[in-house]
């Protein structure tokens, strides 16, 4: 990547934290407690912590790899490590994966929107507005993304703290007795939780723009810690509130729990939070758009990411329309998240080994 | 070949224009100098060539040239012509006459403060055009430039747009010299730098770049100068011309530089390491770089108690929100999401809307557009008639529209509240984009209801986050977060805690006061 561009779009380490948080906390936030409770039953909090720890390993690997090429994205250093042909294939598959995730997150968000808020508006219409907003953000570059995430974090978090008093309603009996699940169940649940944390891979693309790269690991781990904490809080709250039996019949338990919020005079406060959730879904969707757009621009040496965004928009829209219903969306998501897991752990492991073997240090 | 074509166009386009590159020297022959000026000046009626003889013996020819509407004729006759014609005693047989005239004129004959000499005819011509008197003397290869300009101006008045209840009641006026004096008078700092440049190919308007040399960041100054250099324009009539050609993002509706008519505000910004531009003929100063939150701050905030200032600032933030989105919120609640309203409120809204023929979107658009009409009409009309517009438009029209059942009373309340909120924002130039955004938000809300609202706000936020003003993030201190700057943003801390200059604008000295040893 060109040095002038890196300099122009530099982001601070603090902004990296917020990007990671917003990227990870998105759509998974709504359905995670249900899928956890289905598999891990009373130990549903445990997989969250385990996947937090596992992901920090992912961060460590990517950091180790990226720090060796401070001015390159994945596209740049995969060329250097495995040669132009294989390198391009790896980068392209990563970009493709990011594009698929972009489309699916957009689709999930719009499906939730349709089921909660706008039942009569066709999904393609709402989706095109969503995609346009994403396109606009990506066209404004890394700085705009970082600043938006930073602002929204400080703007939205205090509002979501109103959920905190609901912790009194948690029935702890739903978590006792502890450690009763089979190890296999825990592993499966961990695997499920890992999807919701998918955000680590943004480090492949955003790393060259980080101001103090040596401290990037620390910042990303702080981000991961906050993400883990958020998911832990939500899981405990929602599972504890509904109980493991009832929760399995609720599609979006995190949204439903807001209905229990009762403030005099203001009728249905959960809708208010739902609007804020649109912003959260957007900030988890936009970084993937950013990844695919910047990755493609880097791969083909486009001057501006707008060109690659233009190419990607129809693909993303196609991906978003592809699944027919919610079940298909979830199964696609599982498939793609598995690919994502393989890529985020596989690429750095493979590359680091090759570097060792070829002595590229 | 290409060069020849270029030259051809150049020579044709600029045939009447001064070529500043080629400097013409003043010759010692009086006739030659006058011929040069006559060749290069359109023969205007207000251009005066007055030839006379210097000294009591009337032996040396001289000529003064000026535009008679730009100078003080009284001083010219009494102080310049009288002293040259009658007071000067010269021994003309002497060979050192040239040197002597030079010295005597400057030192002892003409009692004028602004007197300089030049050897360049081009410069003399420029000075003549800007209102100075120029004097040629036979046998001397020099021009004397006498600064006895007298330009019409109005008195310094109270600020019209940025009126405050408390604080200085002076505002900038048109002449640059008065405006500079208004600033210079308030700050007796040896590092205050005022750099005057000319801008506009034809108007050659004076533009003052003002900054405090040891506070301002050198990069910012360099950017200001670079952008000034890059301006290509034939005439500059108002500081808005400069602002528009300076912008980082030309397409943004938001003002990227602040304009103010208050000298105290300009000075406060100078002290924060900003650059102030003053243009001759414009009663507004332009402050750069600017952050968005500055448009929600009023000079009064700093003069008043901090509780009150903080409260007012919070109100202004709320007013900004209301100005942009209240009609949109109303539309989306009434036409899509009755369930979001508390039951009693929903019922009373429904009762009020009974019988209104239009959908709420159309109703809102009709009301908002008529309100904008009223506002424009009010500005154009002279004071007493302007009030009539307020009464006819606001009271009679609104009342009649409700009585006729064309609009519902809640809609009138919403529109009126929005209008009032937009007046709460201290900076007029900042309300213009907000009004613009309000209409787009109404459209979004009409199509997508609350989802449209949220997306609209996201788009606005993304735009604000991406904007920069001379490289300074426009939405600072919120994005990127600057904790120390938050003390003086939507709230205001007591003066005691403001020992540091704002961080979002880079400065050379971070602290306002150096540490006392």
A118 close to B449: Cβ distance less than 8 angstroms? yes
Q: Which DSSP symbol is given to B515?
A: P
What is the reported pLDDT for B17? Answer: 46
Top residue of A19, A148, A210, A309 to mutate, by most chain B CBs within 10 Å, is A148
Encode chain A in three state secondary structure: CCHHHHHHCCECHHHHHHHHHHHHCCCHHHHHHHHHHHHHHHHCHHHHHHHHHHHHHHHHHHHHHHCCCCCCCHHHHHHHHHCHHHHHHHHHHHHHHHHHHHHHHHHHHHHHHHHHCCCCCCHHHHHHHHHHHHHHHHHCHHHHHHHHHHHHHHHHHHHHHHHHHHHHHCCHHHHCCCCCCCHHHHHHHHHHHHHHCCCCCHHHHHHHHECCHHHHHHHHHHHHHHHHHHHHHHHHHHHHHHHHHHHHHCCCHHHHHHHHCCCCCCCCHHHHHHHHHHHHHHHHHHHHHHHHHHHHHHHCCCCCHHHHHHHHHHHHHHHHHCCCCHHHHHHHHHHHHHHHHHHHHHHHHHHHHHHHHHCCC
**Rounded to whole angstroms, what are the CA distances from A191 to A49, A100, A296, A316?**
12, 19, 29, 26
Condensed to tens digits (0 to 9), the pLDDT of residues B135-153 reads 888 877 888 888 888 878 8
Percent of chain B whose pLDDT exceeds 90: 28
**Interatomic CA distance for residues A337 and A343, integer angstroms:** 10
Residue of A302, A49, A247, A277 whose CA lies nearest to B454:
A277
Residues in chain B with CB shorter than 8 Å from the CB of A117 are 449-451
**Interatomic CA distance for residues B488 and A162, integer angstroms:** 27
Residues in chain B with CB shorter than 8 Å from the CB of A14 are 480-481
Nearest by CB to B466, from A12, A140, A154: name it. A140
Phi/psi class of residue A168: alpha, beta or left (left: φ > 0; alpha: ψ in -120 to 50)? Answer: alpha
Is B438's pLDDT higher than 90?
yes
Residues in chain B with CB shorter than 8 Å from the CB of A271 are 337, 339-340, 450
Q: How far apart are the first and last CA of chain A?
A: 20
Contact A275 B454 (CB under 8 A): yes
**Interatomic CA distance for residues B464 and A151, integer angstroms:** 11
Residues in chain B with CB shorter than 8 Å from the CB of A129 are 448, 451-452, 455
Condensed to tens digits (0 to 9), the pLDDT of residues B142-192 reads 888 888 888 788 888 888 888 888 889 999 999 898 999 999 999 998 999
DSSP letter string over B56-71? TTT-EEEEEEEETTTB
Residue of A254, A92, A282 whose CA lies nearest to A166:
A254
Q: What residues pair up with B216 in beta bridges, in sequence order?
A: B507
What is the reported pLDDT for B16? Answer: 44
Separation in Å, CA of A272 to nearest CA in chain B: 8
* Size of chain B in residues: 517
Non-local (6+) Cβ contacts of B318 within 8 A are B421
Which helix (H) or strand (E) segment is B163 a member of?
none
What is the reported pLDDT for B8? Answer: 52
Greater confidence, B437 or B385?
Answer: B437
Q: φ and ψ at B29, to 5 degrees?
A: -90, 120
In 3-state terms, what secondary structure has residue B166?
Answer: coil
In 3-state terms, what secondary structure has residue B197?
Answer: strand
Half-sphere exposure of A100 (CA within 13 A, CB side): 17
Greater confidence, B444 or B22?
Answer: B444
Is B258's pLDDT higher than 80?
yes
Half-sphere exposure of B432 (CA within 13 A, CB side): 9
Top residue of A151, A211, A269, A309 to mutate, by most chain B CBs within 10 Å, is A151
Contact A268 B339 (CB under 8 A): yes
**Interatomic CA distance for residues B387 and B383, integer angstroms:** 7
Q: How many domains does chain A have?
A: 1
CA A222 to chain centre: 15
pLDDT in 10s for each residue of chain A, 361 residues: 778 888 888 999 999 999 999 988 877 778 888 888 888 778 888 889 998 999 899 899 999 999 988 888 888 888 888 888 999 999 999 999 999 999 999 998 999 888 888 888 888 999 999 999 999 999 998 999 999 999 999 888 887 777 777 778 788 887 877 777 788 888 888 888 887 888 788 889 999 999 999 999 999 999 999 999 988 988 888 888 888 888 888 888 888 887 777 777 766 777 778 888 899 999 999 999 999 999 999 999 888 889 999 999 999 999 998 888 888 888 888 888 888 888 888 999 999 999 988 876 6
Contact B451 A117 (CB under 8 A): yes
Q: φ and ψ at B275, to 5 degrees?
A: -110, 135
Condensed to tens digits (0 to 9), the pLDDT of residues B51-96 reads 888 776 777 788 889 998 888 888 888 888 888 887 776 655 555 5
Nearest by CB to B465, from A151, A154, A279: name it. A151
A170 close to A236: Cβ distance less than 8 angstroms? yes
Measure the CA angle with vertex B72, ends B70 and B78; round to 5°.
145
A interface with B, Cβ–Cβ below 8 Å: 12, 14-15, 113, 117-118, 121, 126, 129-130, 133, 136-137, 140-141, 143-144, 146-148, 150-152, 154, 265-268, 271-272, 275-276, 278-279, 282
Top residue of A267, A269, A279, A283 to mutate, by most chain B CBs within 10 Å, is A267
* Size of chain A in residues: 361
b or e along B447-485 (b: 16 or more beta carbons within 10 Å of the residue's beta carbon)?
Answer: ebbbbbbbbbbbbbbbbbbbbbbbebbbbbbbbbbbebb
Contact A147 B465 (CB under 8 A): yes
Q: What residues pair up with B207 in beta bridges, in sequence order?
A: B197, B279
Non-local (6+) Cβ contacts of A127 within 8 A are A106, A107, A110, A317, A320, A321
Contact B342 A129 (CB under 8 A): no
Q: Where are the alpha helices (DSSP H) in B247-396?
A: 263-271, 300-303, 306-335, 343-353, 360-380, 383-389
**Rounded to whole angstroms, what are the CA distances from B364 to B267, B332, B335, B371?**
42, 11, 12, 10
Q: What is chain B's alpha carbon radius of gyration, rounded to the nearest angstrom?
A: 30
Nearest by CB to A282, from B452, B458, B473: name it. B458
Is B15's pLDDT higher than 70?
no
**Number of A–B residue contacts, CB under 8 Å:** 91
CATH number at residue A145: 1.20.1740.10
Greater confidence, A19 or B5?
Answer: A19
Residues in chain B with CB shorter than 8 Å from the CB of A141 are 466
**Interatomic CA distance for residues B434 and B320, integer angstroms:** 8
Q: How far apart are the first and last CA of chain B?
A: 70
Residue of B208, B233, B174 whose CA lies nearest to B286:
B208
**Interatomic CA distance for residues A135 and A132, integer angstroms:** 5
b or e along B146-175 (b: 16 or more beta carbons within 10 Å of the residue's beta carbon)?
Answer: bebbeeeeeebeebeebebeebbebbbbeb
- Torsion angle, CA of A351/A352/A358/A359, rounded to 10 degrees? 140
Contact B462 A137 (CB under 8 A): yes
**Interatomic CA distance for residues A71 and A66, integer angstroms:** 9
Neighbouring CB atoms inside 10 A of B344's CB total 10
Contact B480 A282 (CB under 8 A): no
Residue of B246, B311, B334 whose CA lies nearest to B490:
B311
Contact A117 B458 (CB under 8 A): no
**Interatomic CA distance for residues A323 and A104, integer angstroms:** 9
Residue of A28, A14, A45 whose CA lies nearest to A237:
A45
Residues in chain B with CB shorter than 8 Å from the CB of A267 are 339-343
Domain interval for residue A342: 3-358
Residues in chain B with CB shorter than 8 Å from the CB of A272 are 340
Q: φ and ψ at B96, to 5 degrees?
A: -85, 20
Quickly state the pLDDT bin for B107 (edges 50, 70, 90).
Answer: low
A16 close to A62: Cβ distance less than 8 angstroms? no
Residues in chain B with CB shorter than 8 Å from the CB of A137 are 462
B473 close to B479: Cβ distance less than 8 angstroms? yes
Is B14's pLDDT higher than 50?
no
């Amino acid at each position: 990547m060109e040095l002038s561009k890196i300099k122009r779009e530099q982001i601070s380490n603090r902004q990296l934290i917020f990007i990671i948080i917003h990227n990870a906390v998105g759509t998974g936030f709504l359905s995670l407690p249900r899928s956890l409770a289905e598999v891990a039953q009373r130990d549903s909090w445990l997989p969250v912590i385990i996947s937090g720890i596992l992901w920090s390993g992912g961060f460590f690997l990517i950091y180790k790899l990226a720090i060796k090429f401070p001015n390159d994205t994945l596209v740049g250093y995969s060329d250097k490590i495995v040669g132009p042909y294989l390198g391009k294939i790896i980068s392209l598959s990563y970009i493709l994966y990011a594009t698929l995730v972009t489309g699916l997150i957009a689709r999930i968000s719009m499906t939730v929107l349709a089921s909660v808020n706008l039942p009569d508006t066709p999904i393609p219409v709402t989706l095109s507005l969503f995609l346009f907003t994403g396109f606009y953000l990506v066209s404004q570059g890394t700085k705009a993304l970082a600043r938006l995430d930073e602002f929204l974090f400080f703007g939205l978090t205090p509002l979501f703290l109103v959920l905190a008093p609901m912790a009194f309603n948690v029935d702890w009996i739903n978590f006792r007795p502890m450690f009763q699940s089979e190890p296999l169940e825990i592993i499966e649940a961990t695997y499920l939780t890992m999807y919701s944390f998918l955000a680590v891979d943004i480090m492949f693309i955003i790393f060259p723009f980080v101001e103090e790269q040596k401290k990037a690991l620390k910042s990303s781990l702080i981000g991961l810690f906050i993400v883990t904490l958020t998911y832990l809080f939500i899981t405990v709250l929602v599972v504890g509130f509904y109980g493991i039996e009832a929760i399995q019949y609720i599609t979006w338990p995190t949204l439903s729990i807001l209905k229990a919020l009762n403030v005099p005079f203001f009728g249905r406060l959960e809708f208010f939070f739902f609007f804020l959730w649109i912003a959260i879904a957007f900030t988890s969707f936009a970084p993937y758009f950013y990844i695919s757009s910047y990755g493609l621009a880097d791969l083909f040496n486009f001057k501006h990411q707008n060109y690659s965004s233009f190419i990607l928009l129809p693909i993303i829209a196609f991906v978003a329309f592809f699944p027919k219903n919610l079940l298909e969306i979830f199964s696609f998501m599982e498939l793609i998240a598995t690919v994502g897991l393989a890529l985020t752990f596989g690429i750095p492991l493979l590359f680091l080994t090759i570097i060792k073997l070829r002595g590229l240090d | 070949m290409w060069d020849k074509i270029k030259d051809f166009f150049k020579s044709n386009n600029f045939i009447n224009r001064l070529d500043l590159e080629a400097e013409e020297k003043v010759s010692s022959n009086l006739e030659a100098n006058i011929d040069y000026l006559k060749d290069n000046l359109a023969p205007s009626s207000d251009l005066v060539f007055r030839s006379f003889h210097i000294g009591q013996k009337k032996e040396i020819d001289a000529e003064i040239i000026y535009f008679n509407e730009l100078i003080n004729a009284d001083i010219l006759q009494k102080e310049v012509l009288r002293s040259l014609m009658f007071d000067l005693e010269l021994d003309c047989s002497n060979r050192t006459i040239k040197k002597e005239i030079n010295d005597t004129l400057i030192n002892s004959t003409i009692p004028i403060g602004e007197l300089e000499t030049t050897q360049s005819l081009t410069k003399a011509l420029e000075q003549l055009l800007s209102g100075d008197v120029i004097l040629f003397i036979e046998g001397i290869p020099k021009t004397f430039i006498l600064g006895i300009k007298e330009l019409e101006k109005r008195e310094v008045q109270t600020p019209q747009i940025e009126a405050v209840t408390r604080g200085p009641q002076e505002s900038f006026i048109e002449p640059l010299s008065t405006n500079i004096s208004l600033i210079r008078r308030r700050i007796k700092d040896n590092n205050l730098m005022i750099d005057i440049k000319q801008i506009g190919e034809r108007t050659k308007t004076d533009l003052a770049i003002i900054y405090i040399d040891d506070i301002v960041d050198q990069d910012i100054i360099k950017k200001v100068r670079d952008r000034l250099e890059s301006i290509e324009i034939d005439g500059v009539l108002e500081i808005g011309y400069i602002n528009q050609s300076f912008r980082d993002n030309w397409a943004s509706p938001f003002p990227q530089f602040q304009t103010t008519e208050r000298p105290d505000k300009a000075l406060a910004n100078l002290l924060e390491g900003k650059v102030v531009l003053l243009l001759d003929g414009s009663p507004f100063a332009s402050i750069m770089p600017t952050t968005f939150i500055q448009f929600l701050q009023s000079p009064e905030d700093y003069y008043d108690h901090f509780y009150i200032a903080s409260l007012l600032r919070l109100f202004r933030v709320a007013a900004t929100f209301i100005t942009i989105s209240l009609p949109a919120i109303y539309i989306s609640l009434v036409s899509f999401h009755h369930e979001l309203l508390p039951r009693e409120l929903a019922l009373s809204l429904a009762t009020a809307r009974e019988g209104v023929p239009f959908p709420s979107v159309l109703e809102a658009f009709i009301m908002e557009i008529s309100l904008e009409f009223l506002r424009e009409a009010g500005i154009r009309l002279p004071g007493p008639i302007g009030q009539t517009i307020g009464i006819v438009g606001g009271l009679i029209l609104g009342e009649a529209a409700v009585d006729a059942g064309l609009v519902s009373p809640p809609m009138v309340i919403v529109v009126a509240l929005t209008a009032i909120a937009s007046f709460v924002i201290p900076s007029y130039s900042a309300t213009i984009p907000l009004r613009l955004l309000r209409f787009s938000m109404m459209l979004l809300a009409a199509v997508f209801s609350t989802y449209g609202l949220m997306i609209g706000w996201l788009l606005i936020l993304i735009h604000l986050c991406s904007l920069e003003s001379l490289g300074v993030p426009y939405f600072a201190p919120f994005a990127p977060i600057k904790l120390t700057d938050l003390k003086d943003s939507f709230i205001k801390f007591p003066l005691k805690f403001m020992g540091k200059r704002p961080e979002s604008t880079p400065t050379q000295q971070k602290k306002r006061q150096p540490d006392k040893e």
